[in-house]
Amino acid sequence: MGVLGAEPWSEEMRKRIEDSTGIKAYDIFGTSELSGPLFTECQSQNGIHIWADQFLVEVINPDTGEPVANGERGELVITTLVKEALPLIRYRIGDITVLNWDECECGRTHPRIMRVLGRADDMLIVRGINVFPGQVESVLMNIPEVGEHFMIIVDRINELDIMKVQIEMTDAAFSDKVTDIMDLEKKVGAALKSVLNIAVKVELVEHGSLPRSMGKAKKVIDNRKI
């Protein structure tokens, strides 16, 4: 069993981890202000339970501060109900998620936060469209030739936002034939466009060539001066 959650990760990444290691991979969530990692998935692996007898949980529209409807995407806000010394009232965690109050398969009625899509401050606006690095990861992890490391680079050229994604190939997919690489770049670009609704320039790079980091990975370079 693996309990993983230093940074947001996608359902597709879970499948890759489980398939390649043979473990069950569970998501966990918490922040240092709330005493660290507090909330985990149950055996159903379908959302992280928030212990509703200890915490009042809300998901709000980050612009208006108003709670969104059940199942709608917004920013996570938590109020501690029993914490002493450092209670928090409507504390804005900054993560974008969906709150699900439906009873879980496991029988618990504590609400679940569904896959955290990223932090409100991770969200990129490219040509007026909201883009989360987690969406890019979801698309990439469904393409077997693509490795686990990628970098999103956004530039503004002649008043137009240009989004490029550099992606490491797996060693197995690496080819000496330029046409193979171009075909794969086209395939990845089309898959990204179908989900993000914007054109993305795809650049495949050799396995091991993108920077690695300890802890939270840096996945976005925004070169725009706005």
- If one asks whether residue 108 binds Zn ion (CB under 5 A), the answer comes out as yes
Smallest distance, Zn ion to C-beta of residue 127, A: 39
Closer Cβ to Zn ion, 104 or 162, answer by number? 104
Most distant CA pair in the chain, distance: 63
Give min distance, CB of 43 to Zn ion, in A.
7
Tokens 């190939």 found at: 169
35 binds Zn ion (CB under 5 A): no
* Sheet with 160-169: strands ordered across: 201-205, 160-169, 146-157, 220-222
Q: Beta strand 36-40 with 25-31: parallel, antiparallel or unpaired?
A: antiparallel
By CB under 5 A, which span of 38-46, 79-87, 127-135, 187-195 interacts with Zn ion? 38-46
113 is an interface residue for Zn ion by CB under 5 A: no
Going from the C-alpha of 220 to that of each of 124, 165, 177, the distances in angstroms are 9, 9, 29
DSSP codes joined into one string, 146-188: EEEEEEEEEEEETTEEEEEEEEEEPTTT--S-HHHHHHHHHHH
Which residue lies nearer to Zn ion by CB, 28 or 106? 106
Question: Residues 162, 38: contact at Cβ < 8 Å?
Answer: no
Residue (29 or 132) nearer to Zn ion, CB: 29
Distance of closest approach, residue 99 Cβ to Zn ion, in angstroms: 14
Find the binder of Zn ion among 4, 42, 60, 195 (CB under 5 A).
Answer: 42
Instruction: Tell the smallest beta-carbon distance from residue 111 to Zn ion (Å).
Output: 10
Task: By CB under 5 A, tell whether 106 contacts Zn ion.
Answer: yes
Q: How does DSSP classify residue 29?
A: E
Rank residues 106 and 198 by Cβ distance to Zn ion and give the closer one.
106
Smallest distance, Zn ion to C-beta of residue 50, A: 11
Q: Could you say whether residue 44 binds Zn ion (CB under 5 A)? A: yes
